[in-house]
Amino acid sequence: MSTSPPAPTLEAVAALAGVSRSTVSRVVNASPRVTPDVIAAVNAAIEQLNYVPNRAARSLASRRTLTIALVIPENTAKFFADPYFASVIQGVAMYLSTTDYTLTLLIASEADPEKTRRYLQGGNVDGALILSHHSDDRSYVQLASALPVVFGGRPTGQTGSTTYIVDVDNTAAAERATQYLIDHGRTRIATIAGPQDMSAGIDRLDGWRKAVTGASLEAGLIEYSDFSSSGGAAAMERMLASGRKFDALFAASAQIASGALGVLKDHGLSVPRDVAIATIDNDYYAQNSTPPLTTIEQPTTEQGGKIAETLVRLIAGEEVDRLTIMPTRLIERESV
């Protein structure tokens, strides 16, 4: 009966490279106190022996876990329903794959936020990424006093002076989408705004107001929704029931717009002939609606990578910007 050969050890690498065990350890832990020729000899020995450094030992020596938590303060249904999360997580994972860090995903419903915060403050991770497209995540701001934290999206009430944030300019994105409707001759522009207990919802409503009032149009018809297609549908039903006329709609997200579009069709209204629609998010809902939706695209995968990069640099003690704004772009489609 055959047995597998024992795994190569630090001592075996040291013997093959002709250096001490402590020198190999310094090379493995990227110490600057090793000459280039010694680094080359040790790395050659590691490659020849197929040596895998002991992650636990390295973590103990450096007092680091080499683990980063990605916290989604959402319920599971919203997490799996929204393609936004998949794109951002892909960006985070792609960046961290180039580092020594592993990623732990925490879908942390606000039903028990303290459980998540206890875990994060218990020395289990080196830092945390807080990402939410729906929920008010300001309760996690206090974590920054216990460990490095970067937010994907501005927590409500935060301007970046005391936190690290990677975001898009939601006000400018909404203003641009609404202005696009105005530029196409629409004069009665309604909006279905997002939740007003989170920054994205607040800022996108503000952007709509800026565009409408800037064009000297009446800022009148407003309904509110969560960032879901069912919420958008319910808001559009209320909008139509009001009896007030409108010829365009700015929806605060593509999911909202998709739900509103279905209701408009059910009521015999044509898009864009009767009602033009512009929105934010170039996701499945924007691309696969009929007609496809004119939208402002957020670089969600790139944003995920930037969030991860910012946190890794923060953990390493590097100086990083407290507020990073990612670029957006207008995608013109048949809904306007």
Distance CA 44, CA 89 (A): 34
Residue with tokens 């509103």: 260
* Extended strands (E) in the chain: 67-72, 102-107, 127-131, 149-152, 164-168, 189-193, 222-224, 248-251, 276-280, 294-297, 323-326, 329-331
Give all strands of the β-sheet with 248-251 in edge-to-edge order: 222-224, 189-193, 248-251, 276-280, 294-297, 329-331
pLDDT of residue 49: 86
Please name the amino acid found at residue 66: L
Which part of the chain has CATH 3.40.50.2300?
67-168+300-326, 170-297
Q: Are 246 and 190 in contact (CB under 8 A)?
A: yes
Q: Which fold has domain 170-297?
A: Rossmann fold (3.40.50)
Regions in the chain scoring below 70 on pLDDT: 1-6, 29-31, 52-63, 109-113, 133-139, 157-162
Which tens digit of pLDDT belongs to each residue from 60-89?
Answer: 555 678 999 999 887 777 777 788 888 999
pLDDT of residue 2: 45
Residue with tokens 């002939």: 273
pTM of the model: 0.78
Name which CATH class applies to 67-168+300-326: alpha beta
Which part of the chain has CATH 1.10.260.40?
10-62
10-62 architecture in CATH?
Orthogonal Bundle (1.10)
Average predicted confidence (pLDDT) for the chain: 88
Which tens digit of pLDDT belongs to each residue from 315-325?
Answer: 988 889 999 99
Distance CA 8, CA 10 (A): 7
pLDDT of residue 325: 96
pLDDT of residue 147: 87
pLDDT of residue 139: 67
pLDDT of residue 136: 57
pLDDT of residue 163: 84
